[in-house]
Amino acid sequence: GAAISHPYEEIMRSVIIAIYQENVEEIFVVGTKDKRTSTGHVLTQLETMKDKIQTLDYLFQNCRPEFSGGTFDGWLNGDENSSDAIEKSVDIIRNHPLVPSYVKVKGLIVNHKDGKSSIVEVPAIKTASSLPDHCLS
C-alpha cells in the first residue's frame, strides 16, 4: 500500500540509504491488483472522526500545496489504481538525482485470480525526466 508520492519524502530517503549501505543494484516496486484495502473505508466511516476528517479535508484543499485538490479520503484510500501508483513510484526512483544510473528499477503487479497468482511487469512512464519544466531550462 505504500507509494512514493514525492521524491524527497521518508520512503524515498529509506530507499536511497539502502542503495548506498547495501550496494543495491536492482529495486522492485511491487503491488497487488486490488486497488484499496478495507481499512481506510472503515476509518473514514467512523462517526467519531467526522470533525477531524472535515478539518483535514480543509487543510488538504486550502493550506498545504502538496495536498492541493485532494481529500483526506483520497489520501487515506489512494486515488490511483495499483498500476498507476507503481508506475509513478518507479519513475520517481529512476529519475531521482541521488539514485545511481546503474540501479535497475522495475514495477511488478501481483494478481491473485481464481486461486492462482501471476506477476506482470508495469511498463515505465515515457517521460524524459520527473523534474519540473523550470528545472530543465
pLDDT tens column, 70-98: 677 666 666 567 778 888 899 999 999 99
Look-up: residue for cell 488538504?
A: 60
**Which is higher by pLDDT, 26 or 83?**
26
Whether 30 and 50 share a structural domain: no
For CA atoms 47, 49, 53, 54, give the dihedral sign.
positive
How many of the other CB atoms lie within 10 Å of CB of 71?
A: 16
End-to-end CA distance of the chain: 35
Task: Give the closest residue to 34 by CA, choosing from 78, 75, 72.
Answer: 78
pLDDT at residue 27 tops 90: yes
pLDDT the model gives residue 42: 56
Whether 5 and 56 share a structural domain: no
Which range of residues forms the domain containing residue 54?
A: 37-77
Please answer whether residues 73 and 42 qualify as being in contact, where contact means their C-beta atoms are separated by less than 8 angstroms.
no
Strand partners, 5: none
The reply to whether the predicted model has a pTM over 0.95 is no
Whether 6 and 30 share a structural domain: yes
- Say how many domains are in the chain: 2
The CATH number assigned to the domain holding 136 equals 3.40.1050.10
The pLDDT mean for the chain works out to 76
